[in-house]
Every structure is written in structure tokens, then in C-alpha cells.
Amino acid sequence: MDAQLDNVKFDANGLIPAIVQDHATGEVLMMAWMNRDSLAKTVETRKTHFFSRSRNKLWLKGESSGHVQNVKSIATDCDQDVLLIKVEQIGAACHDGYYSCFYRQHQANQGDWKIVGKKIFDPESVYQKK
């Protein structure tokens, strides 16, 4: 048992937000939710695991795409209710094909968000219809 996990505060649904950051460049890649099991699994395997609220199950990031995240460090904030995980990202973080999920930027005095991210892969070919 890892006593450090007992200090982490999960919300009323048993979840904590986990921010994932590229360890080399500092680029923020995504935010997803972890429950206690997925955090323990992340610590144990050094690959990020999250909890999907829509599918109500634990998932290994990259289980379909192969785009896993190798964990370099795990930090927590002052209230210990948010995690910051630095990783080596294999492939790209976003299922839309961008390296980071944060590929849309707000524009002053414009009507729509601007796509600023770089597309790494074609989602159609990576997530093949079964």
C-alpha cells in the first residue's frame, strides 16, 4: 500500500482531475479524471490510467491508439485535490489527432476559436471502425 494515495482528496464521485503535461517541453496535453484505482494503477505501471465518466470504467490511455503516456513524475496541489502528471507522450495525446487536446485558442474580437494545434495523425486511420 502507498500511504501517499491516502492524502489525495477525491470528489463526491470518487474522482480527481489529472492534468497531463509533456515532461520535456512543458506543453499541457490533456486533463482527464482518475479514481483511486486508476491512480494506483498509474503509480504501479508508470503508464497513465483514467476513469471514464461516460463509459464508467477504467482505461489505459493509448489502449486503442497505442499512444500511451510514460509517467515521469506525479505532483499534487496545495489542497491535494488536483494531480499534475508529467509524461513522455508516445504519438499524440488527443483523439482528434492533435499532439495536445488544447488545440483551440480564444481570439479577441472574433467569432470563433482558432485552431492552433498541430495535427499528428488521422483519427480515421488510427481508430478504425470495427
Choosing from 61, 67, 94, 99, the residue that interacts with a second copy (CB under 8 A) is 94
Does the protein bind a second copy through residue 75 (CB under 8 A)? yes
Choosing from 36, 41, 47, 95, the residue that interacts with a second copy (CB under 8 A) is 95
Does the protein bind a second copy through residue 12 (CB under 8 A)? no
**DSSP structure string for 35-79:** -HHHHHHHHHHSB-EEEETTTTEEEETTTTTS--EEEEEEEE-TT
Does the protein bind a second copy through residue 43 (CB under 8 A)? yes
Does the protein bind a second copy through residue 40 (CB under 8 A)? no
Among residues 83, 102, 81, 104, the alpha carbon closest in space to that of 93 is found at 102
What are 99's three cell numbers?
499532439
Distance separating alpha carbons of residues 97 and 35, to the nearest angstrom: 26
Q: Shortest Cβ distance from residue 48 to a second copy (Å)?
A: 13
Beta strands 69-76; 57-60: pairing state: unpaired
Which is nearer to a second copy, 68 or 100 (by Cβ)? 100
Residues that bind a second copy (CB under 8 A): 3-4, 7, 17, 19, 21, 25-28, 30-31, 43, 73-80, 82, 84, 94-96, 98, 101-108, 110-113, 116
